[in-house]
Structures are given as C-alpha cells and as structure tokens.
Structure 1
Amino acid sequence: LTNLESCCSLLNSFSYTELNKNPVEGFSAGLIDDNDLYRWEVLIIGPPDTLYEGGVFKAHLTFPKDYPLRPPKMKFITEIWHPNVDKNGDVCISILHEPGEDKYGYEKPEERWLPIHTVETIMISVISMLADPNGDSPANVDAAKEWREDRNGEFKRKVARCVRKSQETAFE
C-alpha cells in the first residue's frame, strides 16, 4: 500500500469505528465485506414528517482509492422515487460531486465534495435530500416533474409504494 492508501484505510476504519461507537439517528452503516473498507452498506430510515417516513432504504457507498480527496458514490439498492435519485438508484447531490468548479456554474465549490466530509455528513445530506428534494437539479426528471406538478397525487402514491416495498424487503 502507498502512504495515501494506508492513510485512507485508517480514515475509513476510523469513521466506521466512530459510527459504531456514536451512532447517528436516521441511518446505520456497515461494511459489505469485512475485508473491503471501500464498500459500505447503509440503511436509511425515512425521515419523520416526510413522504418517506417509515421507509427503510438500503444503499451502497463505494469509496475511491484516493478517498478523502474524491467523493464516494452512493447508490440506492432499494427502489426509491425521488427527484435527486436517478432511475438506477444513483444519488445526485452536491456533496457527492467532484471537488472544484462546477462547469455549469450551478454549484459553488464549497457545496461540492471537500475532504472534511465524513460518512456522517454524507448521510445527513441524504436524509435532508429526502426531506427536501431539489427539483431544480433533478437526476430523475419524471420524479421532479411530478414533485412540482402533482406532489400530493401521483408523486405521493409512487413514494408510498416505495416505502411499503422497502419495509417488506428491508432485512432480506
């Protein structure tokens, strides 16, 4: 291992150890494989007083070898209907975008990935995303359109179906 890889492994295991000692409300995290610190599975509890309340959504966090210099990728394994989650489950939020200038000028550099972010700050951002979708920068255009135009109709029905399905499959 290079010094950077060793350092990153230590950072990852420290974050993992820290999360186990001081769990954060709303999610739990664990390694997919005890021999691979770069692949985590998270369970996110749908935030109270949102359409996602009661849901138990499974996702994977995959860390690059040069973490924390670059952000992890997050993908929901459980089906979820949300403007900021594409139809394949990939999460699209600023904190997970590569650091630096946004070539489209939409995000400020400080809104994008910074090496100070942790699994905890990522998960808090994802829980916030569930509570308050960003319809102006959608990964799922159809969900964003429904969220803007028919939030209490079709959008709400699709989310409720995903919540029910997540409860049925949460611990498979």
Structure 2
Amino acid sequence: MAQYNQRNPAVKRLMKEAQELREPTEDYFAQPLEDNLFEWHFTVRGPPDSDYDGGIYHGRILLPSEYPMKPPNIIIMTPNGRFETNKKICLSISGHHPETWQPSWSLRTAMLALIGFMPTQGEGAIGSLDCPSDERKKMARKSCSFKCSHCGPTKNLLKEQSKSGPSKTNEEARQLASQMSFTSEGAKQGDSHALEQRFVPAEEAQEDAHAGDEPDARPTEPAETEVRCRMPAPSTGSVAHDQQPQVTPSAGVTTPRATPTTITTAQAPSENQLLISVFMFICAAVFLSLFVRRACFLLF
C-alpha cells in the first residue's frame, strides 16, 4: 500500500477500519485497493426473503479526503435491478446526502445500510432502478458469476453462508435502513427531532466511547427553516411610545417608526482654549494688582 501521513485523521480512520474489516463475514467484506487507501472494493450478500436472496453484489466506495467528516460515494458494479451499475447511487449514507451523514458512521455502516435498502423502493432517487421482480431474481442468480478486475471472482470473497436462517447482521441492516429512511425524510422537512434520533449500529456504539483519537466534531447542516421577521420589543416606555407602528392602508404592512438617537460626546478643551484661559487669568491678576496699588495710593 502507498505511504500516507499517519497523522492525517482520514488516513488514521481508514487504516483502523481496514484492520477491523480484514476478515470477511457471511454478509459483507471490504478492503482498500493496494495503491489507494481512499478507494475500497466491497462485497455484500443479498438480503434473505427478497428478490436479491442468493445474490452477491460487488462495488466501489470512493472516500473524500475529509472522511469521516464527509460521506463516501458508493458505486455498484454487479447488475442487480435496484441500483444502476457504475454510477454513484443516492442513499442517506452516500455523498448525495451530506446533511444526514454522521462522522460516527463507518464503512461497515454503509454496507449494512446498502443491504437494508436493497428491498426498498427507489422512488426516483439518483441511480435507482425499478425492475420487475422476476428480472431481479434472475440477476441475483447471475451475480454469483461476476468477476472484478481487481478482486477476482466475487463469490469467493464472502464466508460460506450458514443454514441457520437470517443472521443478526440482516436484522441490523433492516433496522438501519428503516431508521435512515425516517432520518432522511425528517431532514427534508426540517425536523430537528428526527435528526437527533439517528441510528448508530450496536457494534460501533462502544467504539465511539473510545474515539478520542478521531475527529469528534460533527458538521451541522442547517435544516430548512421558516424565516420570520419580528418587531423588536421596546425596552422603556419612551421607546415604546416612539416606536408605535404606522399602518399603510395600501400595503397593509405594519412597520415600526425609527427612533432618532442623539449621541452626546464630551469634547476636551483644545490647546488654544487652554492658552487663552491662562492669558486671561494673568491679565486679571495684573489688573487686580494695579487696582489695589491705586487704591492704597489714594488712601495714604
């Protein structure tokens, strides 16, 4: 792998995630390319009891240099009938929705969300498809023969599926997709309460408590809010009297009348005024002295 600055927050985070995801599971697997830490290839198993049951889907994750403060972009390479291939797809955890992304989410979160979103309706989202059920099932069977130019046959990248039924990972993926759908809708409507209820996978909640070495600041994206203009409340009785609203019959708009403000500043005497004052004081003293001398002369 190429050399990277180990102190860079994105590099540090991605290397940690690469270590955590180094072993494949039954449902997902992801690793960065040998020469590019910011491009990952991933493989996920289709969710059970759906049109994608039995399918194995491969794709790419393109990460920004600001990760995890900004979301990744996800590209599906295997034909699936739900998402367009080789095109950035629109999900709550992708670059199309930075307002719903949380830095505490990881690439594992993104893969689980993708699994959970596959059985849902695209509803015209960017990169979504609405193929018939039979076509999706047919693509799921063919997906096992997909071969990546970097990773080879994708069917060999996941652990063999157990026969004990749906795993806990699939249940977690369904809950995650459901929570993210609610969060995305809440973000569109400016519902701050919905934004505060974002889902964090159980395995990552404990890691966040020890994430002191990772960026903790979360970008706050402003939700759409209604801008209202309010007349400022008067502070004193006199100000309230001066700011009585004037009503224009034609417009019907009430506007406060501006209150004139007088600013008084103390002006220090200039140098010339000081000299004049001193001169007048000296003249008065001389005049008084002459007057006293004249009076004494007349008396004596």
TM-score tier by shorter-chain length is 0.7 to 0.9
Q: 1:98 to 1:136 in 2, by over 3 A?
A: closer
Structure 1: stretches of 5+ with no match in the other structure: 101-111, 147-154
Does residue 16 of the first structure (1) align with residue 18 of the second (2)? yes
Identity of aligned residues (%): 25
Aligned residues: 146
Matching residue of 1:149: none
Q: Structure 1, residues 103-154: CA drift from partner, whole Å, max 9, x if none?
A: xxxxxxxxx21111101111111000113x134343356x33x5xxxxxxxx
Matched, 1:61 2:51: no
Q: Does 1:73 align with 2:101?
A: no
In structure 2, distance between residues paired with 1:2 and 1:35: 11
Map of 2:138 onto structure 1: 161
Q: Does 1:139 align with 2:126?
A: yes
Match of 1:104 in 2: none
Q: Residue 88 of structure 1: CA displacement?
A: 4.2
Partner SS, residue 38 of structure 1: strand
2:6 and 2:113 map into 1 onto residues whose CA distance is: 26
**1:76, distance to aligned residue in structure 2 (A):** 0.6
Q: Name the counterpart of 1:99.
A: 98
Q: Which has the higher contact order (CA 8 A, sep 6+)?
A: 1
Cα contact 1:79–1:89 (8 A) shared by 2: no
How far did residue 4 of structure 1 move? 10
Unaligned runs of 5+ in 2: 148-152, 155-300
**TM superposition shift of 1:6:** 1.2
Cα RMSD after superposing both structures: 2.6
Q: Secondary structure at the match of 1:20?
A: coil
SS of the counterpart of 1:165?
helix
Query: Structure 2 length as normaliser, TM-score?
Result: 0.44
Query: Secondary structure of the equivalent of 2:8?
Result: helix
Residues of 1 paired with 2:54 and 2:4: CA distance?
Answer: 43
Moved more, 161-170 or 73-82: 161-170
- Contact in 2 for aligned 1:64/1:71 (Cα 8 Å): yes
Q: Is the 8 A contact 2:90 2:97 kept in 1?
A: no
Q: Distance in 1 between matches of 2:93 and 2:67?
A: 14
Distance apart, 1:31 and its partner CA? 1.8
The 8 Å contact of residues 61 and 72 in structure 1, kept in 2 or not, is answered as yes
TM-score by length of 1: 0.73
- Cα pair 1:80 1:89 within 8 Å, conserved: no
Is contact 1:5-1:66 (8 Å) kept? Answer: no
CA drift of 1:47 comes to 1.2
The SS at the match of 1:67 is coil
Distance 1:90 1:2 in 2: 26
Contact 1:24 1:120 in 2 (8 A): no
Structure 1 residue 87 displacement after superposition: 5.4
Rounded Cα–Cα distance in structure 1 between residues aligned with 2:127 and 2:36: 31
Instruction: Give, as a single letter, the amino acid of the residue that structure 2 aligns with 1:15.
Output: E
4+ residue stretches of structure 1 with deviation over 6 A? 1-5
Q: Return the alpha-carbon distance in structure 2 between the equivalents of residues 11 and 124 of structure 1.
A: 19
CA distance change for structure 1 residues 119 and 2 in 2, over 3 Å: closer, same or farther? closer
> For 1:115, which of 88, 95, 103 is the aligned residue?
103
Which amino acid is 1:6 matched to?
N
SS of the equivalent of 1:94 reads coil
86-95 vs 65-74, greater mean Cα deviation: 86-95
